[in-house]
Structure 1
Amino acid sequence: MASPHVSGSRAGGSPVASSGANAGADRTTPGRIGLPIFVDGMAALIDRHPYDAFIVDLWGVIHDGEQPLPGVIEGLTMLRDAGKVVCLLSNAPRRAETVAARMREIGIDDGLYTHLLTSGEATHTALSDRPDAFHQSLGHRVLHIGPPRDVDTVSAPGLVPVERAADASFVLVTGIDDPDETVADYADVLADAAAHGLPMVCANPDLVVVAGGFRAICAGALATHYESLGGKVAYHGKPHAPVYDLCRSMITRTLAGRGVAAPRILGVGDAFRTDILGAHNAGLDSMLVTGHGIHTGDLGIDADGRPDPVKLEAAIEEFGLRPTLVMPGFRPA
């Protein structure tokens, strides 16, 4: 298994980086940066952009935590029927089967996608297999910061949960207990862990999530604060390249059986900081989905999910990242 990213880089800055193989392609350019190619829906994506496989975010693209987003079931069905491989990649700090079970509950069946990987699954595997020097050095006494629902990630063989930093050999952060909480609510426990020199494993690099229209902080916000205290953090999940390597391996194995030796892969998501940066780090083309999710309040989204071109260009400038494509929603058209 690939090693995690330890105390990693952040999105942002200049010059603007374009994703993947199409990075040098001509674009419509209302300003000096230029905008990505706009795609109305899945039909146009399949017809005009010959990708073999898709690495697709969940929250803000496939569902909102409570139900599938409009058109998603039909869009996934179109990709499946066109013979495309879909690998769902989520920064959910829970194991893949737990996430798959929740998707089945809200109407997203297993047959609509090919593979599923979560940052929680990658974390659990790393804490079980100890694939590198960092994980081998962690010990087994874990101070877990996160809700009880993340217990499957904490249940790696040999881990001994403890209640105090003084008794721990490392910290595992998976999230917050209550959606109203802020980083300030965890300041004391994080300061105590940093004072004891504990390394941290972050099972969800996201800073925030939008669930049912409500915005809440994620484990990544706590990990970022911990780094500011001088703590060392290993991240499992987007935007760090190792999870994309795992997805690419699954996709390659599937398509090798169909005679596709070098699959063309598109990374899809709603967030510049994780999905678009992650695709860029992995050398993949990327597609920003704008109709729902993290940037809807910033991009001047119209009733059809299309972003305001000026605001989109400003976001590209802010994050220093230009997606290859933009689509209003993961929908048929």
Structure 2
Amino acid sequence: MPDTRIVNGLQPETRIITGVREIAAGFDLVLMDLWGCVHDGVKPYPAALDCLARLRDAGKSVAILSNAPRRAAEVEAKLTEMGIDRALYSDMYTSGEETWKYLKTRPDGLGQRLGRRVYAIMSDRDAGILDGLQLERVDEIGAASFVLVTGVEDAKATAKDFDPVLRLALKQSLPMLCANPDLMVHRGGVEEICAGAIAQRYENLGGRVVYHGKPHGKIYDVIFKAAGAAPARVLGVGDSYRTDMRGAQDAGAKALLIAGGIHRSELLYAAKIEPKFLRELNRSFETIPEYGLPLLAW
């Protein structure tokens, strides 16, 4: 969906800022992405922790909104282990939690038809998403009633590696649930695919995929209702155009792009956002974040 905000006949450009302090007064609720913004999958960014503390001290609510394919409590525990204090954010929302709730409640026709036999494409660290769901995890795709993808065990894996399984799933018309719409992530500086890359490949082959998490609207509806927040007073912070930026803007919120995340090689020059590169990516993704910042900082 192209950006349709027009000012004096022209589309606006992204405003490059030096810190969240410049725009914080305009927002009551901040939806904060984790990976690439607050931490790199291994350790937190000190300036990001300072920013979270400053937002809290300024009276802003900070809700973590992550496409982590794990239950919210698991992500909270991981953040604490990393040294990210629970007092730095008010709420936690994850795509994994939304996926778990969907499988638990079966709120629509598809959910009710999924059955209980799941073929899971996941790493061992994501297995907690199956707890309490009364599912039978099967090792053969031919025995499954649906596919659940959360991520990969092998950091060197590519989406194409899963083609044999995906083609068998397609032959059986198996629906797929994707618990992380992200395509890739940098873990400690090393790039690896996410569940969204496998789900996208299944769609390209002709398969049906149900996504939970950003940029899909349901998770924003849940947050806005719980917070009693007016979308115009919400700031979505993230490092991905296709999930964080698109999701926030489609939900009616403003968007702040952290350029030092997954798009860093495309956006940064000498640790600063290069405006020409930013305009090119805005055009490429047909999305114009209201704000841009090299790294999350107050």
What range describes the TM-score normalised by the shorter chain of this pair?
over 0.9
Name 1:301's counterpart in structure 2: 269
Whole-Å Cα distance in 2 between the matches of residues 102 and 262 of structure 1? Answer: 29
Whole-Å Cα distance in 2 between the matches of residues 155 and 171 of structure 1? Answer: 16
1:17 aligns with 2:27: no
Task: Assess if the C-alpha contact under 8 Å between 1:35 and 1:309 holds in 2.
Answer: no
Name 2:238's counterpart in structure 1: 269
- SS class of match (2:23): helix
Whole-Å Cα distance in 2 between the matches of residues 222 and 114 of structure 1? Answer: 32
- Normalising to structure 1: TM-score of the pair? 0.85
Whole-Å Cα distance in 2 between the matches of residues 307 and 213 of structure 1? Answer: 19
Please tell me the residue identity of whatever aligns with 1:274: T
Task: Assess if the C-alpha contact under 8 Å between 1:89 and 1:118 holds in 2.
Answer: yes
Name 2:57's counterpart in structure 1: 81
Whole-Å Cα distance in 2 between the matches of residues 152 and 131 of structure 1? Answer: 21
Of 137, 156, 159 in structure 1, the residue corresponding to residue 135 of structure 2 is: 159
Name 1:43's counterpart in structure 2: 21
Whole-Å Cα distance in 2 between the matches of residues 179 and 119 of structure 1? Answer: 20
Give the 3 Å change call, closer, same or farther, for CA 149–281 of structure 1 in structure 2.
same
Task: Assess if the C-alpha contact under 8 Å between 2:232 and 2:252 holds in 1.
Answer: no
Of 207, 210, 213 in structure 2, the residue corresponding to residue 237 of structure 1 is: 213
Task: Assess if the C-alpha contact under 8 Å between 1:124 and 1:156 holds in 2.
Answer: no
Offset of 1:24 from its aligned partner?
A: 4.7
Please tell me the residue identity of whatever aligns with 1:83: G
Whole-Å Cα distance in 2 between the matches of residues 301 and 241 of structure 1? Answer: 33
Percentage identity across aligned positions? 42
For structure 2, the residue ranges without an aligned partner over 5 or more in a row are: none
Name 2:151's counterpart in structure 1: 175
Residues matched between the structures, number = 298
Task: Assess if the C-alpha contact under 8 Å between 2:116 and 2:145 holds in 1.
Answer: yes
Whole-Å Cα distance in 2 between the matches of residues 64 and 203 of structure 1? Answer: 20
- SS class of match (1:322): coil
Please list the CA deviations of residues 120-142 of structure 1 after superposition, one character each: whole Å capped at 9, or x if unmatched: 00000100011111111111111
Give the 3 Å change call, closer, same or farther, for CA 50–25 of structure 1 in structure 2.
farther
Please tell me the residue identity of whatever aligns with 1:329: L
Please tell me the residue identity of whatever aligns with 1:316: N
Name 2:123's counterpart in structure 1: 147
Please tell me the residue identity of whatever aligns with 2:273: P
Task: Assess if the C-alpha contact under 8 Å between 1:53 and 1:263 holds in 2.
Answer: no
Offset of 1:156 from its aligned partner?
A: 4.0
Residues 1-333 of structure 1: pairs in structure 2 closer than 5 A: 16-17=2-3, 23-24=5-6, 33-46=11-24, 49-252=25-228, 264-290=233-259, 292-303=260-271, 306-332=272-298
Please list the CA deviations of residues 5-44 of structure 1 after superposition, one character each: whole Å capped at 9, or x if unmatched: xxxxxxxx6xx416xxxx4568xx9xx6542122211322
For structure 1, the residue ranges without an aligned partner over 5 or more in a row are: 1-12, 256-260
Please tell me the residue identity of whatever aligns with 1:289: I
Whole-Å Cα distance in 2 between the matches of residues 142 and 67 of structure 1? Answer: 33
Whole-Å Cα distance in 2 between the matches of residues 146 and 262 of structure 1? Answer: 34
Give the 3 Å change call, closer, same or farther, for CA 287–226 of structure 1 in structure 2.
same
Runs of 4 or more consecutive aligned structure 1 residues displaced over 6 Å after TM superposition: none
Whole-Å Cα distance in 2 between the matches of residues 176 and 63 of structure 1? Answer: 20
Task: Assess if the C-alpha contact under 8 Å between 2:65 and 2:92 holds in 1.
Answer: yes
- SS class of match (1:105): helix
Please tell me the residue identity of whatever aligns with 2:212: H
Please list the CA deviations of residues 282-332 of structure 1 after superposition, one character each: whole Å capped at 9, or x if unmatched: 111111111x211000113333xx311111000000000000111222212
- Normalising to structure 2: TM-score of the pair? 0.95
Offset of 1:263 from its aligned partner?
A: 6.9
Task: Assess if the C-alpha contact under 8 Å between 1:145 and 1:175 holds in 2.
Answer: yes
- SS class of match (1:243): helix
Please tell me the residue identity of whatever aligns with 2:263: H
Offset of 1:277 from its aligned partner?
A: 0.6
Please list the CA deviations of residues 50-100 of structure 1 after superposition, one character each: whole Å capped at 9, or x if unmatched: 100111111011111111124011100110011101111111101111111
- SS class of match (1:273): helix
Offset of 1:165 from its aligned partner?
A: 1.4
Task: Compare relative contact order (CA 8 Å, sep 6+) and give the higher one, 1 or 2.
Answer: 1
More moved, 82-91 vs 323-332: 323-332
Give the 3 Å change call, closer, same or farther, for CA 161–262 of structure 1 in structure 2.
closer
Whole-Å Cα distance in 2 between the matches of residues 279 and 317 of structure 1? Answer: 18
